[in-house]
């Protein structure tokens, strides 16, 4: 997915009264939000960390699910949630909370698979 | 300013438990339609950060039987699409690839512009955009995508469908909101008012233009795009609620959700809420800001917390019995608001996004549940039942919230004095001091719930109880009372109360008079087996009215008192992260549970299905001749407004 061109960097601001005027350069409309750069930096670090686990490791599956959600949040401009999901992925890999027992599989439908009725 | 404080003692009467009267027994046999209808008002799709298309989310939530490609449907009676504000880059006529739905893969708006899909053609990404637009502002997707899907699905399902919003609140985190004025999906209508609210007041929507007229002039002028954080943001949020109250006092609502999650209020950022913010909201919107919603995300519990999507920085440090500490704690923030006599009620919804590592059709979840699968918010059945009925029911307080189908759609929770009729949740019983108050509760425990697991509840196994996870059982009901000491005026002592993130927030007492006045064990209830396998349970008890106002609310659970790692010696829920100290040892315990030393822990969906609660809103009581409570005055205000306002959409959809 393509990264969002952050929509808060808007070319125009509507002031009270309804006149559309150019925003001042550097106007930060959501100061409390982390930046896109912070989000993508955290995401990339977590992604690299997750890749250190073998493909199919249950904790890697969890981490990649978290990273997917982080990316969705980033694409919607929700960088705080991007950081939160990246952090969850990092914790998952560091703590290895999930392991499959020998012979155990994850019961999950593939896209081309229909459940048994 | 405090009203005069006079304590009303709801004195426990002696031994009337289990002694249901003859009249009550006759009531059990009386056939009547379920008095409440179930719904959900907080859920997501790919227009923001959900995993499935808007249509798929609705279909699974309100249809019955099994979905075409697999997965159970959950047959809700009503559904409010409550997606985030802001913007999104994905086309929510399609599900995300991660949902693992046959033939459905992620599509972005840039891939589908100009195409007619499901009868909807999006030709342009409107509003303020960069040189190469990628995202659709939510006001546009509310108007042009989600609402047309609501229209389409209303005709298909014949259920009440509403276009709502999870408002990203200036100065705070999130709030469920809806403006139904103009919506009339059976006759088409529009969601313009909902969209306008989102454009004007959502912190993540900093579009500066909005929709334009034929001369390219903005239609919705005067937007404050600056004050989105901290104290100024809070004032903008209050302005948003005033906008609702002024324009749509009976056709809108604003209900803060997962309100502990982001910690205490931050005067320089956008975090959580303190009690003064709820008071501000209710003051600004007496008929629109009338409650709090519990968190959803109930399948996210891991060994380090996370149930409800709460980390350890949430006020309270996490969830308690799958509720936030504001509502779960006896004498907590909710009791503080009730202790003023405010019309402030609690609700539950799913906050459905995805099933975590699983696809949408899988029965397991490490994330969320589909609306109706685990959480059900019940509002009174009306004839006809329509969108207005949902809001009226929520506003009235005559509603209750259930997890895991612990109880069904036919709760009876009411009280009366020695004279006069019954009063139910949200209503006020007026009695003489010393008068006996009879309180009656009847509930049905369904034969089964939607749990895919048939092994025994691992939390209950600790106390020697074998109970399959897909068969709900009720252990006891708490009747919780608190005294009402009057409305606190803004700026007066006690209006603003210091708050704290983490477990420190759990020690704050907002209403010290609140107690578990009665604990009625299932064994002490009258029980009747119904033909369809459910169990009807009832009890009647009495209180003695005191000299000043009070309230009585109820909660129930499948968890016995002092169950290790789940409840304390009074039956209060412990911090849910403790559930993960219990192992899941049945051979059928699923492989996705968190493990320590190869032992599976009670986490994720197994935790949710193990730890079940319901919450019923309060019945208020006041002495005859005393001033009316705020809850009464605001109910009267709603009645007056109803007398002066034309109801929404005479031909809006009714439940069939």
Q: pLDDT per residue over B103-126, tens digit each?
A: 999 999 999 999 999 999 999 999
Q: Label the pairing between strands B400-403 and B613-623.
A: antiparallel
- Per CB-CB distance under 8 Å, the chain B contacts of A20 are 208-209, 218
**Mean pLDDT taken over chain B:** 94
The pLDDT score that the predictor gives to residue B535 is 98
Query: For chain A, which residues make up each domain, given as ranges?
Result: 48-100
Q: Is B604 exposed, middle or buried (0-12, 13-18, 19+ CB in 10 A)?
A: buried
pLDDT at B655 over 60: no
Q: Is the dihedral of CA B327, B330, B332, B335 positive or negative?
A: positive
Q: Which of B102, B229, B303 sits opposite A32 (nearest CB)?
A: B229
Tokens standing for residue B208:
């500066």
pLDDT at B2 over 90: no
Q: Which of B203, B270, B358 sits opposite A108 (nearest CB)?
A: B358
The pLDDT score that the predictor gives to residue B326 is 98
- Per CB-CB distance under 8 Å, the chain B contacts of A61 are 357
What's the ipTM? 0.89
Q: Any idea which residue has 């972005």 for tokens?
A: B108
Task: Report which of B167, B226, B252, B240 is spatially closest to residue B202, judged by C-alpha positions.
Answer: B167
Of B388 and A5, more confident: B388
DSSP letters, B566-598, are TB-TTSPBPBGGGGGGSB--STTS-TTS-EETT
Asked if B551 contacts B618 with a C-beta cutoff of 8 angstroms, the reply is yes
For B37-56, the pLDDT digits (tens) are 999 999 999 999 999 999 99
Size of interface A-B (CB pairs under 8 A): 166
- Per CB-CB distance under 8 Å, the chain B contacts of A89 are none
CB contact under 8 A, A76 and B48: yes
Tell me which residues of chain B, numbers 44 to 63, contact chain A at a CB-CB cutoff of 8 Å. 48-49
DSSP letters, B220-288, are S-----S--SHHHHHHHHHHHHHHHHHH-TTSEEEEEBSTTTT-S--TTS-----HHHHHHHHHH-TTT
**Test mutation, A13, A14, A70, chain B, max B CBs within 10 A:** A14
Backbone angles phi, psi at B293, to 5 degrees: -105, 140
| Cα separation, B106 vs B95, whole angstroms | 6
- Per CB-CB distance under 8 Å, the chain A contacts of B364 are 107-108
Task: Report which of B2, B4, B8 is spatially closest to residue B514, judged by C-alpha positions.
Answer: B8
The pLDDT score that the predictor gives to residue B422 is 97
* B247 in contact with chain A, both atoms CB, cutoff 8 A: no
* B101 in contact with chain A, both atoms CB, cutoff 8 A: yes
Tokens standing for residue B434:
């010393």
**Chain B residue whose CA is closest to A65:** B357
For B406-417, the pLDDT digits (tens) are 999 999 999 999
Angle at Cα B381 formed by Cα B184 and Cα B146, nearest 5°?
A: 30
The pLDDT score that the predictor gives to residue A114 is 82
In a 3-state reduction of DSSP, which class is residue B527? Answer: strand
Tell me which residues of chain A, numbers 39 to 58, contact chain B at a CB-CB cutoff of 8 Å. 58
For residues B597-623, average pLDDT: 97
Task: Report which of B347, B230, B363 is spatially closest to residue B299, judged by C-alpha positions.
Answer: B363
* B594 in contact with chain A, both atoms CB, cutoff 8 A: yes
Backbone angles phi, psi at B201, to 5 degrees: -125, -5
For B301-345, the pLDDT digits (tens) are 999 988 999 999 999 999 999 999 999 999 999 999 999 999 999
Task: Report which of B282, B250, B242, B253 is spatially closest to residue B487, judged by C-alpha positions.
Answer: B282
Q: Please state the pTM of the whole predicted model.
A: 0.92
**Chain B residue whose CA is closest to A71:** B49
The pLDDT score that the predictor gives to residue B649 is 47
Cα-based distances in Å from A70 to A46, B98, B302: 10, 13, 18
For B440-449, the pLDDT digits (tens) are 999 999 999 9
Give the pLDDT band (50/70/90) at residue A117: low
Q: How far is A43 from chain B (nearest CA, A)?
A: 16
- Per CB-CB distance under 8 Å, the chain B contacts of A2 are 89, 108, 134
Q: Which of B71, B206, B357 sits opposite A61 (nearest CB)?
A: B357
H or E stretch at A71:
helix A58-75
CB contact under 8 A, B130 and A9: yes
pLDDT at A27 over 90: no
The pLDDT score that the predictor gives to residue B299 is 98
pLDDT at B395 over 70: yes
Burial B481-496 (b: 16+ CB within 10 A, else e): bbbbbbbbeeeeeebb
Give the pLDDT band (50/70/90) at residue A18: very low
For B523-538, the pLDDT digits (tens) are 999 999 988 899 999 9
- Per CB-CB distance under 8 Å, the chain A contacts of B353 are 69
For residues B444-471, average pLDDT: 98
Residue B88 CA from chain centroid, whole number: 25
The pLDDT score that the predictor gives to residue A87 is 95
Integer Rg of chain B from CA: 24
Task: Report which of B402, B378, B264 is spatially closest to residue B326, judged by C-alpha positions.
Answer: B264
**Chain B residue whose CA is closest to A4:** B134
The pLDDT score that the predictor gives to residue A26 is 31
Q: Any idea which residue has 């006041």 for tokens?
A: B622
The pLDDT score that the predictor gives to residue B654 is 52
The pLDDT score that the predictor gives to residue B651 is 43
* A34 in contact with chain B, both atoms CB, cutoff 8 A: no
Q: How many residues does chain A have?
A: 117
The pLDDT score that the predictor gives to residue A30 is 38
- Per CB-CB distance under 8 Å, the chain B contacts of A57 are none
pLDDT at B70 over 70: yes
CB contact under 8 A, B96 and A110: no
Give the pLDDT band (50/70/90) at residue B437: very high
Asked if A21 contacts A15 with a C-beta cutoff of 8 angstroms, the reply is yes
Residue B116 CA from chain centroid, whole number: 35
For B529-581, the pLDDT digits (tens) are 988 899 999 999 999 999 999 999 999 999 999 999 999 999 999 999 999 99
| Cα separation, B350 vs B79, whole angstroms | 11
**Test mutation, A12, A30, A114, chain B, max B CBs within 10 A:** A30
The pLDDT score that the predictor gives to residue B29 is 52
Tell me which residues of chain B, numbers 156 to 175, contact chain A at a CB-CB cutoff of 8 Å. none
- Per CB-CB distance under 8 Å, the chain A contacts of B231 are none
Q: Which of A18, A95, A100 sits opposite B222 (nearest CB)?
A: A18
In a 3-state reduction of DSSP, which class is residue B403? Answer: strand
Asked if B396 contacts B22 with a C-beta cutoff of 8 angstroms, the reply is no
Helices (H), B72-177: 109-112, 138-141, 147-157
């Amino acid at each position: 997915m393509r990264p969002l061109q952050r929509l808060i960097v808007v070319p125009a601001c509507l002031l009270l009264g309804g006149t559309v005027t150019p925003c001042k350069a550097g106007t930060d409309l959501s100061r409390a939000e982390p930046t896109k750069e912070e989000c993508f930096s955290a995401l990339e670090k977590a992604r690299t960390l997750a890749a250190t686990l073998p493909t199919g490791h249950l904790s890697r599956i969890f981490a990649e699910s978290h990273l997917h959600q982080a990316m969705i949040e980033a694409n919607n401009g929700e960088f705080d949630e991007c950081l939160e999901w990246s952090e969850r992925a990092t914790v998952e890999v560091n703590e290895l909370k999930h392991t499959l027992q020998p012979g155990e599989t994850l019961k999950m439908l593939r896209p081309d698979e229909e459940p048994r009725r | 300013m405090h009203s005069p404080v006079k304590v009303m003692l709801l004195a426990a009467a002696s031994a009337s438990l289990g002694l249901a009267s003859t009249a009550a027994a006759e009531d059990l046999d009386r056939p009547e339609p379920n008095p409440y209808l179930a719904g959900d008002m907080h859920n997501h799709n790919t227009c923001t950060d959900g995993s499935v298309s808007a249509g798929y989310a609705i279909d699974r939530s309100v249809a019955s039987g099994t979905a075409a490609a697999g997965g159970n449907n959950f047959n809700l009676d009503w559904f409010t699409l409550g997606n985030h504000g802001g913007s999104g880059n994905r086309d929510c006529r399609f599900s995300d690839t991660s949902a693992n739905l046959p033939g459905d893969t992620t599509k972005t708006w840039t891939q589908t512009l100009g195409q007619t899909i499901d009868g909807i053609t999006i030709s342009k990404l409107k509003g303020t955009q960069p040189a190469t637009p990628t995202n659709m502002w939510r006001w546009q997707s509310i108007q042009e995508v989600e609402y047309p899907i609501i229209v389409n699905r209303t005709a298909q399902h014949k259920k009440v469908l509403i276009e709502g919003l999870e408002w990203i609140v200036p100065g705070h985190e999130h709030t469920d909101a809806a403006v139904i004025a103009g919506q009339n999906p059976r006759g088409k209508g529009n969601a313009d008012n909902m969209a306008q609210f989102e454009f004007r007041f959502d912190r993540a929507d900093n579009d500066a233009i909005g929709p334009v007229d034929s001369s390219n002039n903005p239609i919705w002028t005067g937007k404050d795009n600056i004050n989105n954080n901290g104290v100024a943001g809070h004032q903008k949020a209050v302005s948003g609620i005033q906008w609702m109250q002024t324009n749509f006092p009976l056709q809108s609502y604003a209900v803060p959700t997962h309100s502990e999650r982001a910690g205490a209020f931050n005067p320089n950022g956008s975090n959580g809420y303190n009690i003064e913010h709820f008071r501000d909201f209710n003051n600004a919107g007496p008929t629109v800001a009338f409650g709090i919603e519990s968190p959803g995300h109930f399948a996210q519990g891991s060994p380090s917390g996370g149930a409800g999507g709460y980390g350890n920085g949430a006020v309270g440090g996490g969830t308690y019995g799958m509720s936030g500490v504001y509502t779960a704690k006896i004498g907590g923030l909710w009791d503080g608001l009730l202790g003023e006599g405010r019309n402030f009620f609690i609700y539950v919804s799913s906050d459905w996004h995805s099933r975590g590592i699983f696809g949408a059709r899988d029965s397991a979840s490490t994330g969320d549940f589909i609306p109706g699968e685990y959480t059900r918010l019940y509002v009174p059945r009306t004839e006809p039942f329509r969108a207005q009925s949902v809001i009226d029911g929520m506003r009235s307080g005559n509603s209750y919230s259930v997890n895991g189908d612990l109880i069904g759609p036919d709760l009876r929770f009411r009280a009366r004095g020695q004279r006069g009729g019954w009063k139910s949740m949200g209503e006020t019983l007026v009695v003489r001091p010393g008068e006996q108050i009879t309180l009656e509760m009847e509930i049905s425990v369904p034969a089964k719930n939607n749990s895919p697991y048939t092994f025994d509840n691992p939390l209950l196994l600790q106390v020697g109880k074998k109970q399959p996870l897909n068969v709900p059982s009720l252990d006891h009901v708490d009747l919780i009372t608190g005294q009402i000491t009057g409305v606190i005026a803004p700026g007066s002592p006690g209006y603003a109360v210091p708050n704290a993130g983490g477990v420190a927030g759990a020690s704050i007492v907002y209403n010290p008079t609140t107690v578990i006045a009665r604990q009625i064990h299932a064994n002490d209830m009258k029980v009747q087996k119904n033909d369809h396998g459910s169990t009807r349970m009832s009890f009647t008890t009495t209180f003695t009215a005191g000299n000043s106002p009070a309230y009585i609310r109820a909660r129930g659970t499948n968890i016995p008192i002092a169950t290790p790692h789940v409840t304390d010696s009074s039956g209060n829920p412990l911090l849910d992260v403790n559930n993960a100290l219990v192992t899941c040892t049945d051979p059928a315990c699923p492989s996705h549970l968190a493990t320590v030393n190869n032992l599976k822990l009670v986490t994720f969906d197994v935790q949710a299905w193990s730890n079940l609660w319901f919450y019923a809103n309060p019945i208020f009581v006041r002495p005859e001749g005393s001033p009316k409570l705020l809850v009464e005055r605001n109910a009267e205000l709603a009645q007056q407004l109803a007398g002066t306002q034309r109801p929404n959409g005479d031909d809006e959809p009714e439940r069939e």
